[in-house]
Amino acid sequence: MQEHEQLKRAIAHLESQRPAPGDAVVEAALGPLRQGMEALAGAEPGHPVRSQAFSGHI
């Protein structure tokens, strides 16, 4: 499965689960996923898309 499709599915899944964790948690999780989608949309063919790992404390 391509990264774009994985990101779309992850976003859809998080959106469907929004009531359980709440808006703030879902929005915090969606930010990096949306950035990944934007990066893929702007990527030129033949150039790898670099991802950034991060950690946070709640």
- Per-residue pLDDT for 58 more than 60? no
* Secondary structure (DSSP) of 1-58: --HHHHHHHHHHHHHHTTTTT-HHHHHHHHHHHHHHHHHHHHPPTTSPPP--------
pTM: predicted TM-score of the whole model, two decimal places: 0.59
Looking at the predicted structure, is the pLDDT value of residue 54 above 70?
no
The pLDDT-based confidence of 12 (bands split at 50, 70, 90) is very high
> If pLDDT is split at 50, 70 and 90, which confidence band does 16 have?
very high
pLDDT digit string (tens) for 23-52?
Answer: 999 899 899 999 988 888 886 555 454 544
